[in-house]
Amino acid sequence: MIKRLLIANRGEIAVRIIRTCRELGIETVAVYSTADRDALHTRLADIAVCIGPPKSAQSYLSVGAIITTAVRTGCEAVHPGVGFLSENSNFAREVQKAGLIWIGPDPETIDLLGDKVTARETALKYGLPVTPGSPGPIATKDEAIPVARACGYPVIIKAASGGGGKGMRIVWKDEELEENLKIASREAEANFADGTVYIEKYLQNPRHVELQVIADGKGGVAILGERDCSVQKNHQKLIEESPSPGVTPEMRKRMSEGARNLFSSLKYRGAGTIEFLAVGNEFFFMEVNARIQVEHPVSEFVTGTDLIREQILVCCGEHWTIDPDNITLTGWSIEARINALSPGKVTRLEVPGGPGVRFDSFLYNGATVSPHYDSMVGKLIVHDSDRHRALERLLRALDELKIEGVPVNIVTQKKILSNAVFRSGQFGTGIYAQLEASL
């Protein structure tokens, strides 16, 4: 087993990785910007190194600074966490060129799956259904109109290298295509340095369902159930749960078989998520995230697995501790993302407890929430025997969670969880828009 690992990230995911590494006997090196000098991950790590000013481009996205730090501090591996450089194949290559272990899939696999046009082609090759759309990139109105008409309006323009709602535009008629193609391409170029876009049929109010995968790089694949991530605001997830209330055992079997075939054929290594849009009993491949996901704790709860541990083990050539042919889901888990509504200093923090309650966060009394980074400050996750009991447990835990000094979205989350439509389990990605007026 490796002795020291650098975490190329910040916030709650860096804290999460540090905790598993400590249990594995692995020393950790934290990197931080000057804005994060007093952050929790810098306090918990064995070594903390400042790599630049608050701007991400000069710190958490600085490939040279991160790799230099890893080498100088005697690290053997780099864990990219989520966001930032976690799906950057060039970073992965530079890590490997420096003689370090990359805690993730091969750079070539990241390239294959990171471009959504190529990923669609790959999914089709291995028998996964995809939504109707363009066979490749779309650059002009003349290319777009025949595709859009063949799909049937509405259609959605998507960035080939993107995510999180950036470079994404919904189009309802021919006359809207040209301008929206330009807008989507500009957004894609600005956010991902790649203006390539493509077109898909826009599914109205589908479920967003994803499977958690761990693979050993030799063709062995473990599917650790599905998560439902349909509650979203502007394509940003708010609430996730496992299993999904809209997935039948038969759907789960078909999804799992397709995912296993894809990941096994690619000799995928590490943690990954395959995402689908589901309408009724049908589902369509959307994308693969070649990394651990923010919402991984709900899968950990229902399977009793430490996914970060398994990810590190398989990427470092160690034996995983799970049996891929004997994964069982027990009970129900729900996660509510806690987002700051503005930056500030935490003057009071009271964390809930009790059976089946977990709070993943970088907050502490006196912690500063920076304006420079993502607004998520924590994740409140619960587990119980069924969905109803898990919902009641999460509401109770949200009541107990006290954060002062920084406004957060606890009240909004409680309203969603208490809503009759959400509690029925019969909803799709349009639920937030349906509820927004009452939130």
Q: Spell out, as residue ranges, where the chain has pLDDT lower than 50.
A: none
pLDDT at 54: 97
| DSSP conformation letters of 285-316 | EEEEE-S--TTHHHHHHHHT--HHHHHHHHHT
pTM of the model: 0.94
Angle CA 177–180–184, to nearest 5: 135
- Which tens digits make up the pLDDT trace of 100-126? 999 999 999 999 998 888 898 899 888
pLDDT at 425: 97
- CB under 8 Å to 21, separation ≥6 — which residues? 5, 27, 28, 312
CB contact burial 105-121 (16+ within 10 A = b; e otherwise): bbbebbbbbbbbbebbe
For the chain, give the number of residues.
439
CA pair distance 129, 97, nearest whole angstrom = 37
Q: Is the peptide bond before 243 cis (omega within 30 degrees of 0)?
A: yes
CA pair distance 108, 311, nearest whole angstrom = 18
| Pairing verdict, β 332-339 and 376-384 | antiparallel
274: three-class secondary structure by DSSP:
strand
pLDDT at 193: 79
CB contact burial 122-133 (16+ within 10 A = b; e otherwise): bbeebebebbeb
In order of start, what are the domains of the chain with their CATH numbers?
Answer: 4-102 (3.40.50.20), 132-201 (3.30.1490.20), 207-438 (3.30.470.20)
pLDDT at 426: 96
pLDDT at 135: 86
Angle CA 216–221–222, to nearest 5: 110
Asked if residues 39 and 362 have their Cβ atoms less than 8 Å apart, the reply is: yes
235: three-class secondary structure by DSSP:
coil
pLDDT at 117: 86
Largest CA distance in the chain: 60
CB contact burial 80-102 (16+ within 10 A = b; e otherwise): bbbbbbbbbbebbbbbeeeebbb
- Which tens digits make up the pLDDT trace of 218-271? 999 999 999 999 999 988 999 999 999 999 999 999 999 999 999 999 999 999
Q: Which residues are catalytic?
A: 291
| Residue 369 dihedral angles phi and psi, to the nearest 5° | -95, 115
